[in-house]
Structure 1
Amino acid sequence: MKKFLNILSKPLTIIFLVLVIDQAVKIWIKTTMYLGQEFPVLGNWFYIHFTENPGMAFGMEFGGEWGKLALSLFRIVAVSGIAYVLFTLPKTTPKGLKICGSLILAGAIGNIIDSAFYGVIFNDSFNQLATFFPEGGGYETFLHGRVVDMFWFPLFEGTFPEWFPLWAGEDYLFFRPVFNIADAAISVGIGLIFIFQKRFFKTPAVEVNEEASQSE
């Protein structure tokens, strides 16, 4: 069991599993649902809602066709940098930090696959089920595809009170963004680094002091 868990915690294993699950869910959504179609999973709290976004994580966008191309190229450069850092970390690096880096890298790659290839290999999902390699070609060119999102958690909604700054009297919905497995992997990786930053980024002096205190 310990050996199995050790294999699961290796960066390449994490990246492979996240990518397989992410792409399997996206392809299932893309080929079985129309754009905008949804169905409840857990009452009114959790829906599978098919949407696509041309920009960043959680549906955020980045200006126009050139903006989309710039974002895709930036993603590729950023992923290359993250991969280089992750796979050149010293053996003494905490395993937890490597796991977080693997989640972030896998999530970034997952969304790059959508942006780079989905426009080429799928036709559009407006009022139809998408198919692989349609006769008329894909809905976009290379690096201009849209990211598939599907998880929506509208947990509660209401109206901000009149005394509330900036959004007084406006309606709100939590959690409004629709996201995918790749987005979740990135968010979990970044969140865990933030939570455990003191453990992940210990200075040698701190480690020596801790060892000294334990020996005493």
Structure 2
Amino acid sequence: MALGKLSTGHKVAIWTVILVALDQIVKMLVHANMEVNERIEVFSWFNLCYVENPGFAFGMQLGGGSEGFDWGKVVLTLFRIAMICALIYGIRYLLKKRDEVPTGVIVGAVLILAGAIGNVVDSMFYGLFIEAQGTGFLTGKVIDMIHLPLFKWENCPSFLRFLVGGDGYFFGAVFNVADAYISCAVVYLLIFHYKFFK
């Protein structure tokens, strides 16, 4: 069957799988070829930096548990799974209203879904398969590797400090391909499709 003859729902599923696979391939290449906390400067404004993130955005974490079991991580992973289910439901709803929904909204939703799935795969399974993590099912760390120290921001307002790394550079966080999918999709939807969400 030619790709053009597939239903929009099938195309959404195929693109989601491709995007998740790309994210996982990049993470496995980083894991296989770099040491944790190793940094490779590609350009002055672009580094590869292998980080195992135990939390969520910008390394924030929920409180852990006692006896070595991280209940905070389990709650975070289960919350992510619930959000994926909600996204799938939302995309199915958008596809049913296809004539009223701009293609860009569906593209943005697919990017967010693929990013969420990519990070949940890490949380669910990497603790089982990556020995260095020493964690278990639902408590794996997310592999991050993209660092963009774009410029020095010494007088950053306190409410924006989370955007600046310990070295004083904006953008301080290390993130991954899945995070980039989500961030780019949110910015794209806010800029180009904000009227759809009114």
TM category (shorter chain) comes to 0.7 to 0.9
Unpaired segments ≥5 residues, structure 2: 65-69, 161-165
Distance verdict in 2 for CA 1:158–1:113, change over 3 Å: same
Question: 1:74 is matched with which residue?
Answer: 79
Instruction: Work out which of the two has the higher radius of gyration on C-alpha atoms and give 1 or 2.
Output: 1
Q: Which moved more, 1:103-112 or 1:86-95?
A: 86-95
Superposition deviation, residue 201 in structure 1? 4.2
Superposition deviation, residue 12 in structure 1? 1.8
Distance verdict in 2 for CA 1:196–1:67, change over 3 Å: same
Which structure 2 residues correspond to residues 55-70 of structure 1 after superposition, within 5 A? 55-64=55-64, 65-70=70-75
Question: Cα deviations across residues 157-176 of structure 1 (Å, max 9, x unaligned)?
Answer: 14228xx6779xx9732010
Question: 1:91 is matched with which residue?
Answer: 98
Superposition deviation, residue 109 in structure 1? 0.3
Unpaired segments ≥5 residues, structure 1: 126-138, 203-216
Superposition deviation, residue 181 in structure 1? 0.5
Question: 1:53 is matched with which residue?
Answer: 53
Aligned length in residues = 181
Return the letter of the residue paired with 2:147.
W
User: What secondary structure does 1:88 align onto?
Assistant: helix
Question: 2:173 is matched with which residue?
Answer: 177
Superposition deviation, residue 40 in structure 1? 1.1
Specify which of 137, 140, 163 is matched with residue 135 of structure 2: 140
- Greater helix fraction, Structure 1 or Structure 2: 2
Which structure 2 residues correspond to residues 109-148 of structure 1 after superposition, within 5 A? 109-124=117-132, 139-148=134-143
Any conservation in 1 of the 2:104–2:193 contact (CA below 8 Å)?
no
Return the letter of the residue paired with 1:16.
V
Which structure 2 residues correspond to residues 132-211 of structure 1 after superposition, within 5 A? 139-160=134-155, 172-201=168-197
Question: Cα deviations across residues 84-123 of structure 1 (Å, max 9, x unaligned)?
Answer: 1102321222111000000000000000000000010111
Structure 2: how far apart are the matches of 1:53 and 1:173?
Answer: 19
Structure 1: how far apart are the matches of 2:158 and 2:33?
Answer: 43
Question: 1:30 is matched with which residue?
Answer: 31
Structure 1: how far apart are the matches of 2:62 and 2:20?
Answer: 24
CA RMSD between the two structures: 2.6
* Runs of 4+ more than 6 Å apart: 164-167
Give TM-score, length-normalised by structure 2: 0.82
Question: 1:213 is matched with which residue?
Answer: none
User: What secondary structure does 1:36 align onto?
Assistant: coil
Return the letter of the residue paired with 2:22.
I
Q: Report % sequence identity.
A: 39
Any conservation in 2 of the 1:159–1:171 contact (CA below 8 Å)?
no
Superposition deviation, residue 56 in structure 1? 0.8
